[in-house]
Amino acid sequence: MLTQLDRLTTEADGRFATAAELKFLRDYLDTVNGRVETYQKIGAAADSIVSEIQQRQLSAKSSCYTFSGKDQASICRRDLTNAIRLSATAMLFADLDLLRDGFVLWYRTIVKSFNYSHMAENTYGKQLPDMMKKLLSPLEYTYMQPILSLNHSILSQ
């Protein structure tokens, strides 16, 4: 939404915006209460989501957080926590562009440099969506689903 507002400000410079140009704002305002509740629910559960994902991954492969001979579980925890927080924020503001252009494309370089794509596939393609489906109502999940799909498609390439 923030990106769309910025675009509208530029496009409607010197004139009033049309009803069609304002439709995205009306659509967003219709969902804002649900988005705020979803954001708060994710925020309250973020630590437990991260812990459960890490436990599942360690159960599947005990060395999954070992890179360059060092245990990097705390760094992976921080990164997943940030991804969840930034994803929830993108959902709150209905702004995929801001998430993609800011965090996700940057984080993809980290994933690639550590050859972490297989873990990103598991984390962002399976574990995180599964956890969100358990946590959120079907309506709340519809707010998060585009964000989860974006993360998965970019980070697991």
Give me the domains of the chain, ranges plus CATH numbers.
32-155 (1.10.490.20)
Q: What angle do CA 34, 30, 141 make, to 5 degrees?
A: 35
63-84 pLDDT, tens per residue? 888 888 898 899 999 999 999 9
Report the range of poorest mean pLDDT among 43-52, 112-121, 144-153: 112-121
87-143 pLDDT, tens per residue? 999 999 999 998 999 899 999 998 898 888 888 999 999 999 999 999 999 999 999
What is the structure's pLDDT at 136?
A: 98
